[in-house]
Structure 1
Amino acid sequence: MDKRAELLRKLMEEKNMKVSDIVKKSGLPYSTVKAILERGAEKAGYINVCKICNALGITTDELEKMVSDDTYQPITLAAHFDGDEYTDDEMDEIKQFAEFVKGKRGK
């Protein structure tokens, strides 16, 4: 498997996404997404890779940077709470806020 496909799979795992989730968000056929993840993104069409990246919340430029710089590091987000679990929407909001806070570092 090529590095791009490996990174896409890791990002999916990190975001608790399955192939079917990518299919829903990207509009690509299941077989296309599965083939890219199994056979590699190098031989895939650029538009299809863009759609998968968009479904994962990244750009193709970010994917290429992770590949070339070997900079991918999984994000571990630990939330301690009492009571009910967070919904997927709430977790997305928490992740967005974490990115916002990290973005303020350079200012």
Structure 2
Amino acid sequence: MDKKAEILSALIDKRGSRRAFAEEIGIPPTTLQSMLSRGVGRASIDNVIKVCRALDITVEELVIMAEKQQPETIAAHHEGENWTDEELEELERFKAFVRSKRQQQGG
């Protein structure tokens, strides 16, 4: 599985069932599974966009997250705090945004 597929898998799994997610966004569950197992690069761009939109991220943010992927450390930095899945996803989107700004500034 490529890094982009790993990221999408983790975000989708936090939401619940992959089958329900696929049905919610209007693609066959087998298509979603193929995208996650064979790699995002082999999927149609339309399906990649549908998945990203449903996860409230852009394709560019997905690419940036994959390029800069680091081990999951949110829980370690926020020990003792109770974060919802939605809050953790928002933190991940914010991290991707900060990384993209850093990259645009040449850092």
SS at match of 1:58: coil
Show the counterpart of 1:84.
none
Does the 8 Å CA contact 2:22/2:29 hold for their aligned counterparts? yes
What is the CA distance between 1:64 and its match in structure 2? 0.6
Q: Distance in 2 between matches of 1:74 and 1:47?
A: 31
Contact 1:4–1:40 (8 Å) recurs in 2: yes
Q: Partner residue of 1:26?
A: 25
Q: What fraction of aligned residue pairs are identical, expressed as a percent?
A: 31
Please, what TM-score do these two structures have when normalized by structure 2?
Answer: 0.63
CA contact (8 A) 1:65 1:71 kept: no
Q: Is the 8 A contact 2:4 2:39 kept in 1?
A: yes
CA RMSD of aligned residues (A): 3.2
Cα offset for 1:70? 2.1
Residues 18-27 or 32-41, more deviating? 18-27
Larger radius of gyration: 1
Query: Does residue 12 of the first structure (1) align with residue 29 of the second (2)?
Result: no
Residue 25 of structure 1: how far off its partner (Å)? 2.6
1:45/1:67 CA distance change after superposition, 3 Å: same
Distance verdict in 2 for CA 1:10–1:39, change over 3 Å:
same
Query: Is the contact between residue 23 and residue 29 of structure 2 (CA under 8 Å) also seen in structure 1?
Result: no
Stretches of structure 2 lacking an aligned partner (at least 5 in a row): 99-107
2:46 maps to a residue whose letter is I
Q: What is the correspondence of 1:1-107 to structure 2 with a 5 Å cutoff?
A: 1-13=1-13, 15-71=14-70, 73=72, 76=75, 78-79=81-82, 92=86, 95=87
**Structure 2 Cα separation of the partners of residues 91 and 7 of structure 1:** 14
Structure 1 length as normaliser, TM-score? 0.63
The answer on whether the counterparts of 1:22 and 1:56 sit within 8 Å (CA) in structure 2 is: no
The structure in which a higher percent of residues are helix is: 2
Aligned residues: 89
**Structure 1: gaps (5+ residues):** 81-89
Deviations 1:32-81 (A, max 9, x none): 1111011111111111011111222211111011012225746558539x
